[in-house]
Amino acid sequence: MAGCWLALIFVLIQGVVAFFFMKYAARNYARTLIITFISKWDVLMEYYVHILSVGDADAIVINYQDDNTRWWTIVIDAGNVGDGEEVKRYIKHIENGCFIIDYAVCTHPDKDHKGGFFDLYNDATVVISNFVFANPENILSCDWRRLNYQTGLLAQKGKETYNHPTDSSKNLIDIIRRSNSQIYQWSYNMDFVGVPLKIVGPEDHFLQDSIYEMALDFAEITDEADAELYNEDEILTDKEVKSVMDTEIETSATNKASLILLFHPGNHKFLLAGDACAKSLHDVVDNLGDEVKNCILKVPHHGSKHNLTTDVIDLLAPTSATISCKGSKKHPNSGVVYWLSKYCDVYSTAKSGTLTYQSMPVKYPAEPLKRKQIIQ
């Protein structure tokens, strides 16, 4: 690895010298050298983005190697209670027999996102160095609307959204505080030290209002009986899809409070949307523009029709899309898959199992749920 770096640095120096001190023909050669350096830099940057197969739940494990060949592991959501062991299998940062999670991020407190963190904190071989989330207890303790309630009641309701899904005596916020994890409160556009990752949504006021609504009306999601299976052969029209996707908008305050993250190693960009709503994603595009357009998209809320509009997909124009779901007719919605396929291949964990995006060439690519449409 060291030899590769020395060679690349030598190539870059050659290019810079040629560009500034030689004539036109040599300058073209210099540009070629610099482009070669940049492309090889991108190849040498090693990362793996694992979108785990955990049914209608979300668990993402990112392993990223920095310039000093140090591995960083980031876990964004951990699925349901019982999924922690599956998350652990993909952790690459291991020291002294311990599995190190450098950053754990919980996008919002639905049980299919927070549940696995109870497992991980209960595992003596797992160390979570930093925990990042929008702590509703802290946010609501400063909200002026708290004055309409008994002292401390609003903040307490916010904290209870992080209770264990089936045992209210266990609270994830309390567990984190008793651990050695450093707690980082969410902040808009927050960068993560050491890794090319940042929080890009939702905006401050929208998040605060959503958390306020969530605290007043939070209920654990209920597991639905398996519905009709997703039909890969369903034929749709633009008009049919728009009539559903652009009218049935997300109303869950908990989902509207979902964090959105951008992982941007080298020239690549992954927009990890949790269960975010269309408004939050639209705001992300408005604020960041080309920084998020043509991204690799982790589709929000298991491909639900409530969380994306055709307009948002058009704005993002993703180059690849992955849906974490169990493959019912509801998750993913066929209209969402159809509209995404106007821009890219669409993958699902229901069809392919755990899906991995990596910096190195893929030997055995996954089979898409739906291939990119060929526009006549």
Which of residues 16 and 136 earns the better pLDDT score?
136
Inform me whether the pLDDT recorded for 323 exceeds 60: yes
- Do residues 168 and 111 lie in contact, with contact meaning Cβ atoms separated by under 8 Å? no
Instruction: State the Cα–Cα distance between residues 269 and 291, nearest whole angstrom.
Output: 8
Tell me the per-residue pLDDT of 85-133, one tens digit each, with 9 for 90 and over: 999 999 999 999 999 999 999 999 999 999 999 999 999 999 999 999 9
Query: In the chain, what percentage of residues exceed pLDDT 70?
Result: 87
Please give the mean pLDDT across all residues of the chain: 88
Instruction: State the Cα–Cα distance between residues 235 and 247, nearest whole angstrom.
Output: 20
Which of residues 126 and 224 earns the better pLDDT score?
126
231 band by pLDDT with thresholds 50, 70 and 90? confident
Inform me whether the pLDDT recorded for 258 exceeds 90: yes
Does residue 332 have a cis bond before it (omega within 30 degrees)? Answer: yes
- Do residues 59 and 75 lie in contact, with contact meaning Cβ atoms separated by under 8 Å? yes
17 band by pLDDT with thresholds 50, 70 and 90? very low
Looking at mean pLDDT, say which of 239-253, 302-316, 360-374 comes out highest: 302-316
Contacts of 247 (CB under 8 A, 6+ apart): none
Instruction: State the Cα–Cα distance between residues 319 and 344, nearest whole angstrom.
Output: 5
CA dihedral sign, ordered 23, 24, 25, 28: positive
44 band by pLDDT with thresholds 50, 70 and 90? low
Inform me whether the pLDDT recorded for 278 exceeds 50: yes
Q: So what's the pLDDT on residue 33?
A: 36
224 band by pLDDT with thresholds 50, 70 and 90? low
Which of residues 219 and 96 earns the better pLDDT score?
96
Q: So what's the pLDDT on residue 189?
A: 84
Inform me whether the pLDDT recorded for 226 exceeds 80: no
Inform me whether the pLDDT recorded for 349 exceeds 80: yes
Beta strand pairing call for 71-78 and 103-105: parallel
Inform me whether the pLDDT recorded for 369 exceeds 70: yes
- Do residues 87 and 50 lie in contact, with contact meaning Cβ atoms separated by under 8 Å? no
**C-beta pairs of 87-93 under 8 Å, 24+ apart in sequence:** 87/52, 87/59, 87/61, 87/116, 87/119, 87/120, 88/120, 88/123, 88/125, 88/126, 90/48, 90/50, 90/52, 90/61, 90/63, 90/354, 91/61, 91/63, 91/126, 92/48, 92/63, 93/63
Inform me whether the pLDDT recorded for 13 exceeds 90: no
Q: So what's the pLDDT on residue 225?
A: 61
